[in-house]
Amino acid sequence: MKNKLKKDLSWEIEVLPVQIKGQTKVLNKALVRSDDQKLIGIRSRYYKPVFNKDLEAIKEKILNTGGFSFKGYEEFKRGKRILAFFENKKKYKLCGERVEDYLIIGNSNDGSSKLFIGTSNYMYRCENMFSERIRAFERRHDQTFDIDAIDIEEILDTYENGRQDLYRNMELLEATPATMDLMTSLGPILLNPNLHKENKDILKRREEEQQILFYDCIKKEVGELGFNLWGVLNGVTRYTSNHLTGNKGFGIVNGRGERLNRQAMKYLMSLT
């Protein structure tokens, strides 16, 4: 597994007015951490944060359904984004491989995203992880959060529909043959999108090494899962799950790994 998750959030969001010298009207508000008073972000006076206590309230509602166990929270950039992972107690197989499936509740405190639902799966065989945001459920930060207004069945239905859609797409990839040209060209497409044929010789040594590693990941997964787009996608997730440097996050829901997985999925689905 990736980063160790936190079982609880030991701090809260505090909202402070931002006042400009000589003006009486407050136009913005500052979001700070309660534990060290470090700034999370400056938002407009209309911004309504989702507090950590609100995430705890959502967590309790999900756990009360009996279908999930709480895996933990993950913080990015000192609380600017928070993700909560819930492991589905049902055991699934995806294209013949045993997987764990997770419901994700995500929230940002810097305006980078709305409150959202996602799904993530973890493959036992190789520890590859792939996550996808489900855009059918998103809540803007323009109203005071009310846990009683949250329909937990809507959340669970949205998650289940998103999970089934993702699995169907994976099965479609499994049914679509790969080509050697795709396997060799996908690395440059994803890792070096601004590189063209006329300047392909100016790759830095580090970039060349990463492209070789990327291709080796695809070759290994295709060899084990079959010469199809499902194997190619798993080559990408092997690379992002096990070889990217930096904070990849537990479910590859954030940062460069998430972006590469998402771009690969979109590109490969266009070939089906």
Helix, coil or strand: residue 60: helix
What integer pLDDT is reported at residue 199 of this predicted model?
Answer: 52
What integer pLDDT is reported at residue 248 of this predicted model?
Answer: 52
Q: What is the mean pLDDT of residues 212-219?
A: 95
What integer pLDDT is reported at residue 51 of this predicted model?
Answer: 96
Q: pLDDT tens digit string along 106-118?
A: 999 887 888 988 8
What integer pLDDT is reported at residue 251 of this predicted model?
Answer: 46
Contacts of 269 (CB under 8 A, 6+ apart): 169, 172, 173
Tokens of residue 243, six digits? 């070889």
Please determine, for residue 268, whether its predicted confidence score (pLDDT) is greater than 70: yes
**Overall size of the chain counted in residues:** 272
- Whole-model pTM above 0.85? no
What integer pLDDT is reported at residue 165 of this predicted model?
Answer: 92
Among 233, 206, 120, smallest CA distance to 166 is for: 120
Please determine, for residue 196, whether its predicted confidence score (pLDDT) is greater than 80: no
Mean pLDDT, the chain, integer: 87
Instruction: Name the residue with higher pLDDT: 4 or 182.
Output: 182
Which three-class secondary structure string do you get for 82-119?
Answer: EEEEEEECCCEEECCEEEEEEEEEEEECCCCCCEEEEE
Helix, coil or strand: residue 126: coil
What integer pLDDT is reported at residue 38 of this predicted model?
Answer: 95
What integer pLDDT is reported at residue 124 of this predicted model?
Answer: 67
What integer pLDDT is reported at residue 267 of this predicted model?
Answer: 96
What integer pLDDT is reported at residue 113 of this predicted model?
Answer: 84
Q: Residue 1: which pLDDT band, with cuts at 50, 70 and 90?
A: very low
Q: pLDDT tens digit string along 47-90?
A: 999 999 999 999 999 999 999 999 999 998 899 999 999 999 99
- Return the minimum-mean-pLDDT range out of 67-71, 243-247, 250-254, 257-261: 250-254
Q: What is the mean pLDDT of residues 96-110?
A: 91
Query: In the β-sheet with 13-18, what is the strand arrangement from edge to edge?
Result: 13-18, 28-33, 39-44
What is the C-alpha separation between 45 and 22, in angstroms, rounded? Answer: 18
Among 47, 50, 39, 35, smallest CA distance to 83 is for: 50
Please determine, for residue 187, whether its predicted confidence score (pLDDT) is greater than 70: yes
Whether the CB-CB separation of 44 and 51 falls below 8 Å is answered with: no
Please determine, for residue 198, whether its predicted confidence score (pLDDT) is greater than 70: no
Please determine, for residue 42, whether its predicted confidence score (pLDDT) is greater than 80: yes
What is the C-alpha separation between 131 and 120, in angstroms, rounded? Answer: 4
What is the C-alpha separation between 109 and 147, in angstroms, rounded? Answer: 18
Q: pLDDT tens digit string along 11-22?
A: 999 999 997 777
Instruction: Give the single-character DSSP code of 142.
Output: T
Please determine, for residue 231, whether its predicted confidence score (pLDDT) is greater than 90: yes
